[in-house]
A = this chain, B = another copy of it.
Amino acid sequence: MNPDRLFDSLREQVKGLAPSNMDISSIEFEGPIVAIYVRNYDEFSGNVDVAKNMAMSVRRRVDIRPDPSTLEDPDKVEKKIRSMIPDSAEVTDINFQPDTGQAFVEAINPGAINDQEILSALKKESGWNVKVMRSPPIPSKTISDVRGYLRYSKDERSAMLKKVARNLVRPVIEGEQWVRVTTMGGFRQVGRSASLLTTRNSKILIDCGLDPGSDATPYFAIPEANPITDIDAVVITHAHLDHCGTLPALFKYGYEGPVYCTEPTRDLMALLQLDNIKLAYGEAKKNLYDAKDVRKEILHTIPLKYGSTTDIAPDVRLTFHNAGHILGSAIAHFHVGEGLHNIAFTGDTKYEKTWLFNPANTKFPRLETLVIESTYGGHNDYQPSRHDASEQLGEYIKEACTHGGKILIPVFAVGRSQEVMLVIEELERTEAIPPLPVYLDGMIWEATAIHTAYPEYLNTQLRTQIFQKNENPFLSPIFHRVETADMREEICHSPDPCIVLATGGMMSGGPVLEYFREWADDPRNWLLFVGYQSENSLGRTIQRGRTEITLPSKGKQITVEIKMNRETVDGFSGHSDRKQMMEYIRKLDPRPDKIIIGHGEDRKCTDLASSIYKKYNIQTVAPQNLETVRLK
C-alpha cells in the first residue's frame, strides 16, 4: 500500500476513535507523532486522557492541537497568558508557533506553571496549546540558538517530519526476518563509536563518533550500508565527540533522515561539534564539516525523553533510559518486530550515583542482547569512590598551594567539568582548601548552563539543591569564565595561584594546551588528570611521564620541557569501573542471552567478555571493528 493510502486509512481509524464531539479539521503525520487539529480545542485541552487512549489504540504517539484558524492573535494572547501565570514562575519569554498552535512559555520556575490545572486553564482561555519550558538559570547561548533556529526553520522541519512519517509506514518485507549488528567503529578501541543495527527491513546507525586521538571516522566504506542513502535513522547515545563527532559530516554529504537523542544531547552535541570546528580552524586542520552541517543536524533531530517508546523504522521501536554517564546520556533500547528481538546499546554508562546523575538503568521490559562499553573493563580497573576521589583532589590542591603553584585540570567540557566544579566548590565552601579562583576555559561555562536547563536529567539531590534550596553551586562566585584570548593570556602569565579547568580532556587540542605550554616547565605547578586518557592521546603520553614534548605554537613547533607535577585523580570517571560493570550485569532485569562488548582497549574487551561468561554464564562476544554478529 502506498503511504498516502495508508495515511488515509490511519486517518479513518483515528476519526473512528475520536470522541463524537471532537470537531477535527485535519490529521497530520509528523515524524513519529499523529497530530490531530481540532476546531473546538478548548473542549479537549483539559483532558489528557483523550490523546492517551487514542495513542494506545493506534499504537502511535498522538498530539491534539488547535486548528490554526481558531487561534487568537499572539500579541493579545501573550498578555492574557502572562496575566494567568503566577509571578513565581518568572516567565522570561513566550514564543508562538501558529502552524501547530503551540505557545512555548519559557520560565525560570516552570514547576509553578506545570500544574495540570493551570496548564488546562491556559490552554482553554488562550485557545493555544501552551507548553512550558525551563529558561536556564544560567543563560545558554546554545539552547537559545537551537530553539531559535528550530522556530526559524519550521517549514523545513515540518517537511522533514512528514518525510520521516512516510518512511515509518512503508510496507515491510515478509518472510524470514533477522537482526544483526555490524561494528563500524569503537570496538576493541575507544573512539569513533558506531554500530549498525540491521533487520530484514531497516538499518539504524547507533552513534557516529570521531576518534579524538587520530580524528579517524567510523568505517563508512563498508558494503553493508551507505550511511547517506541507506539509513533509516541515526540514534545518538550521548554528546561526547567519540559518539557523535562525525554526525554533521553525514548531513554534509547528503543524509536527510532523522536523528534521535535526548534534548540535552542535541544541545550538548551541537555545542561540542561547533567547538570542534573552531578548534580545527585554530589548528589549521581540515575539518570534516561546517557550522551549517551542524544546523542541518539540529533540524533533523527528533528529541525523545527517557522512557518514551517511539517508532523509528517500520519494524523498530526505540526507548531511551538513563545511562548515568553525562547529561542526557542514554541507553538505547530497540524492540525489533513484534517481539522478534530486544537489544540495548548502553553507550557509555556509570553504575553509581554521582554528584550529577542517578546510576544507569538496569530494568527493561525485555532484553535478549546488550551491547556494553568496557572502558574500565580490565580485571584491575578498580576506581576509588567519589568520596575518596574528592579527598584526593583536595590533597593535591592543598599541596600545590603550599608552594604557590598553579593547578591545571584537563577536562571534557561536558560531565567531568561539572563534577569537579561541584567538588571544588564544596572544598572551598567548607574551607578544606584555600579560596582560589577557578577559571573555566573552553565551553565549560556554556555546558554548565545547559546542565541547569535540564534539571529533570540530574539526580534528585542536586535538583533539590538548585531548585528548591536555591543553592546553585554552579553560580558560586569562585567560578570565572574565560571569555577572551586576552583574559587567558593574563591568567597564563599571572603570578598568583589558581585552578584552571580547561578542555580538551585528553589534551589533543583546545585551550588546555595554552596553559600547559606556559606552565609545564615550572616544578611548582600541577597537572591533574581526572578523566580517561585514550591510548594514542597526547594526555596519555604526558601522563606516562615524558619529560619533553613538541607542541604547535602560533604556527611553529616548539619543544616544551615538562617539569610540572603530574598526578591522576581516579574516581571521577563517568564510566563504570570493573566492579560496577560486573554489578550492573548482575542487576540487569531481565538477564540478556548475549552481551556484545565494545568501547574498550583490546585486552579490556576480551577480559570483560571472558569474566562475564565465566561469572554469569551469559554468551559474550568482543568483536573487532568491521564484524557482523547475528542476534536473531
Give the chain B neighbours of A8 by CB distance below 8 A.
none
> Is the Cβ of B224 less than 8 Å from the Cβ of A223?
yes
Say yes or no for A230: interface residue by CB 8 A criterion.
Answer: yes
Contacts of A223 in B (CB 8 A): 198, 203, 223-225, 230
Among residues of B, the one whose C-beta sits closest to the C-beta of A625 is B630
Q: Are B628 and A626 in contact (CB under 8 A)?
A: yes
What residues on B are CB-neighbors of A629 within 8 Å?
Answer: 627
A219 partner residues in chain B, CB cutoff 8 A: 178
Nearest chain B CB to A448 CB, angstrom units: 39
Residues of B within 8 A of A11 (CB): none
Number of chain copies forming the complex: 2
Q: How far is the CB of A625 from chain B (nearest CB, A)?
A: 7
Q: 0/1 per residue, A199-239, Cβ < 8 Å to B?
A: 01001000000000000000101111100001000000000
Q: Is A246 an interface residue (CB 8 A)?
A: no
A313 to chain B, nearest CB (A): 14
Rounded to whole Å, the gap between the CB of A221 and the closest CB of chain B is 7
- List B contacts of A628 (CB < 8 A): 182, 626-628
Contacts of A203 in B (CB 8 A): 223
Describe A's contact surface by its main secondary structure: loop
Is A362 in the interface zone, CB < 8 Å from B?
A: no
Q: How far is the CB of A603 from chain B (nearest CB, A)?
A: 15
A540 CB–B CB distance under 8 Å: no
Within 8 A of B (CB), among A590-632: 623-630
Task: Say if the beta carbon of A39 comes within 8 Å of chain B.
Answer: no
Residue of B nearest to A222 (CB): B224
Q: Nearest residue in B to A629 (C-beta to C-beta)?
A: B627
Interface string of A268-299 (1 = CB under 8 A from B): 00000000000000000000000000000000
Contact B630 A180 (CB under 8 A): no
Give chain A interface residues in 429-484, CB to chain B under 8 Å: none
CB-CB < 8 A to A180: which residues of B?
A: 626-627
Interface centre among A219, A623, A625, A630 (most CB of B within 10 A): A630
Contact with B along A320-337 (1 / 0, CB 8 A): 000000000000000000
Complex A-B, nearest 4 residue pairs according to Cβ-Cβ distance, in ascending order: A628-B628, A626-B630, A223-B224, A627-B630
Q: A223-B223, A223-B225, A627-B627 are in contact. List 9 more A-B contacts (CB 8 A).
A: A173-B221, A182-B628, A200-B221, A203-B223, A222-B224, A623-B630, A625-B630, A627-B628, A627-B629
14 pairs from A and B in contact (CB 8 Å cutoff) = A180-B626, A180-B627, A182-B628, A198-B223, A200-B221, A203-B223, A223-B230, A624-B630, A625-B630, A626-B628, A626-B630, A627-B627, A627-B629, A628-B628
